[in-house]
Structures are given as structure tokens and as C-alpha cells.
Amino acid sequence: MALSPAPRPVILDGDPGHDDAVNILLAHAAPELEVLGVSTTYGNVGLERTTRNALVTLELIGARTPVYAGADRPLLAARLSAESVHGQTGLDGPLLPSPAREAQELHAALFIIQEVRARPHQVTLLPTGPLTNLALALRLAPDIAPLIKQIVWMGGSLDVGNWTPAAEFNALCDPHAAQIVFSSGVPLVMFGLNATHQAIATPQRIAAIRALSGRQGGSDVGEVVAGLLEFFAEHHRVRYGWDGGPLHDPLTCAYLLAPELFVTQPMYAEVDTSGGPSSGRTNCDLWNLTGNVPNAEVALQVDADGFYELLTERLGRF
Ligand code: BDR
Ligand code: CA
């Protein structure tokens, strides 16, 4: 009998957030992955809340994965937050358990450095928020850049933004940090809005997830995720007239589990740090107009049905 390969070590760095929380759940339903830790940053809401939300999400599935709090603000920019999308708690919507644990003492950036050094060329980072923790780690310990296997980030956009006409929220939160990551030489995959907006959590897709809890022996997870997605849908109905919210962040984890669901293209990309009206824009050189060597694999297409099948099947494992 063929042995299955060793699980791939990953660190989930995010700002939960509805879609970050679903990414945490998906990663924990994947025997292909070994989640070394969940690190948190300010972003959708303040750091204290995102850290609590990471603990709440893990509590829901009884996971004891360590949580590390990181940056509470960007490197230089003024701090933004997205209560208008995620509610005051950052995870508004369903009834959630209270966390029985606390975050570790170690700062998220130091945790990332520690794990990358301990497992050279093995650790994949899955950031789903502003890139401040990663930038801090790369600045504190430049030696880790060649030792990181890959970064798969949700952020940026090949075309328009969602927080300004030019910029996506995670990129806009800390453009300088994002540019440090983009210029680090670490293999980078970018799931920008042009890709994530293809993965809308429609009422039918939410109903399939809710039905997981109705099955014999089904856990609460389907019901809770359905509640999260229904809350998340509201902002997107009002702002864009869509039939639900795009599940941005879980595409990072899904990319590791089923890369065949995605079309990506290597290209040169850099982040506008000018402070002007396009600040935070990820300038992606689709047609190689600059002639620069590609530094990012940019997602272009998502098989949305395939993604929701994967997600629903995996959530059904809890
Ligand atoms: C990104 O911003 C946050 O609101 C979401 O969690 C996602 O990571 C989308 O722009
Ligand atoms: Ca996020």
C-alpha cells in the first residue's frame, strides 16, 4: 500500500474575520496539512478581537492549535478596520463558543521566524490579512526568506479594489509591508479580488453547508458556517448587488489542497506605496510590459463549484 506523503506544515496568519475563520476550519479539516499555528494581526477588527476570534474558531472544533498575536497596527500607514463588513466583533452572526484558552506569549513574527528556521524549506505561510507580521519577520530575520517554502496570500487585485477604487483591503492596510513581501524573493501566490470574486457563497451553497449539521451525527460546524456566510452576504448584497459574499480567504488553503481548481499566471507585481489615490494597489504586469522577472503567481480563474464541493465535503468531516 502506498504511503501518503507527510502533511505539509503551514502557518495561518490572518485577521478573523468571517472568511479567515472558514480558512482556519478548512485547514483543520485537511490531513494533507499540519497547522503549526494560527497567527493574528489587526485588520478586519482590532488585534484583541481577531485573536479572540481565532481562539473561538478553534474552540468550535475542539482544536488546540496554538495562537500567536502579532501586529496591532501597520508599519507606517494609519490603521483601517472593516466592521462595516464583519460587524463589531469581526465574527458577527451565529452564536459562537467562548474560548477556553488564551494566545501564547510569543509574538506572531517571532513564531514565524522560529518555525521557518526549525523546518527550512518546508513551511508554507497562508496570510489572509494585512502582511505586517510577515514583513516584520522578514525584517527581523532576513535569513528566513530563502527558507520559506511558499507564501499563498489573499490580497490585492489584478483589476479594481474594494476599499478604494484602486486597492484591496489587505493590501491597503499595509502597503509597505506588502511590498516588503513582494520584493522578498519568497515564492508568492496572490489570490486577489479578480479571483476571489468568482467564489460567491450563494444561498444554495450556504444551504449545502447548513445541511451538514442536519445529517445524523452532524456537528454544529455546518450551521455556524452557514450563519457566518449569511451575515457576510449582507454587506455584499447592499454594496455590490451580489447573491452572497465571496469566500476570499479559504481559496489560499484550497489552493494547497486542490491546485487543479485554479488557473494562475506568473507575473511581476509590486505594491503602490506612494500614499496617493492608488496607494495599496497591486500593480500586476499581466502582459510583461516592464520586462521584469515574475515574482508572483497571480490567480486568474477559480472553479467555484469545485471549490465549494471541496469546502463542503471537508467541513462535513467535523
Ligand atoms: C479581505 O479583506 C477582509 O475583509 C477579508 O477577510 C479578506 O481577507 C478581502 O478584501
Ligand atoms: Ca482576512
Instruction: For 148-189, write each residue's pLDDT tens digit.
Output: 999 999 999 999 999 999 999 999 999 999 999 999 999 999
The CB density around residue 300, as the number of other CB atoms within 10 Å, is 17
Cβ–ligand 1 distance for 236 under 6 Å, the answer no
Alpha helices in the chain (DSSP H): 18-28, 47-60, 83-86, 108-118, 132-140, 169-173, 175-182, 193-196, 203-214, 221-240, 250-257, 304-315
Of the two residues 230 and 1, the one the predictor is more confident about is 230
Residue 3 is predicted with a pLDDT of 79
Instruction: Examine the pLDDT at 309 and tell me if it is beyond 90.
Output: yes
Ligand 1 atom index nearest CA of 163: 10
Instruction: Examine the pLDDT at 2 and tell me if it is beyond 80.
Output: no
Neighbours of ion ligand 2 (CB under 5 A): 15, 17, 20, 128-129, 249
Which of these, 39, 46, 34, lies nearest to 7 by C-alpha position?
34
Buried b (16+ CB within 10 A) or exposed e, 6-45: eebbbbbbbbbbbbbbbbbbbbbbbeebbbbbbbbbbbbb
Q: Could you tell me the three cell numbers for 211?
A: 445541511
Residue 218 is predicted with a pLDDT of 87
Q: Could you tell me the distance, in angstroms and rounded to a whole number, from the CA of residue 155 to the centre of ligand 1?
A: 7
Instruction: Examine the pLDDT at 19 and tell me if it is beyond 90.
Output: yes
Instruction: Examine the pLDDT at 277 and tell me if it is beyond 90.
Output: yes
Is residue 12 within 8 A of residue 22, CB to CB? The reply is no
Q: Give me the phi and psi of 255, to 5 degrees please.
A: -60, -35
In whole angstroms, give the CA distance from residue 65 to residue 304. 29
pTM of the model: 0.98
Q: Give me the phi and psi of 30, to 5 degrees please.
A: -120, 100
Residue 122 is predicted with a pLDDT of 98
Residue 312 exposed, middle or buried by CB count within 10 Å (0-12, 13-18, 19+): middle
Cβ–ligand 1 distance for 280 under 6 Å, the answer no
236 included as an active-site residue: no
Q: Summarize the confidence of residues 311-316 as an average pLDDT.
A: 98
- Give the Å distances, CA to CA, from 45 to 24, 267, 307: 17, 32, 27
pLDDT tens figures, 44-62: 999 999 999 999 999 999 9
Ligand 1, atom 4, lies closest to the CA of 44
Helix-, strand-, coil-residue percentages of the chain, each rounded to 5: 40, 15, 45
Q: Which of 45, 126, 128, 153 to mutate to test the pocket of ligand 1 (most atoms within 8 A of CB)?
A: 128
In whole angstroms, give the CA distance from residue 155 to residue 248. 8
Instruction: Examine the pLDDT at 258 and tell me if it is beyond 80.
Output: yes
For the chain, give the percent of residues with pLDDT over 70. 100
Cβ–ligand 1 distance for 51 under 6 Å, the answer no
Q: Could you tell me the distance, in angstroms and rounded to a whole number, from the CA of residue 129 to the centre of ligand 1?
A: 6
The domains of the chain, with CATH numbers, are 8-315 (3.90.245.10)
Cβ–ligand 1 distance for 168 under 6 Å, the answer yes
The CB density around residue 156, as the number of other CB atoms within 10 Å, is 31
Q: Which of 80, 160, 249 to mutate to test the pocket of ligand 1 (most atoms within 8 A of CB)?
A: 249
Q: Which of 13, 20, 26, 44 to mutate to test the pocket of ligand 1 (most atoms within 8 A of CB)?
A: 44
- Averaged pLDDT score across all residues of the chain: 97
Cβ–ligand 1 distance for 162 under 6 Å, the answer yes
Among all chains, which residue has been given the C-alpha cell 486542490? 258
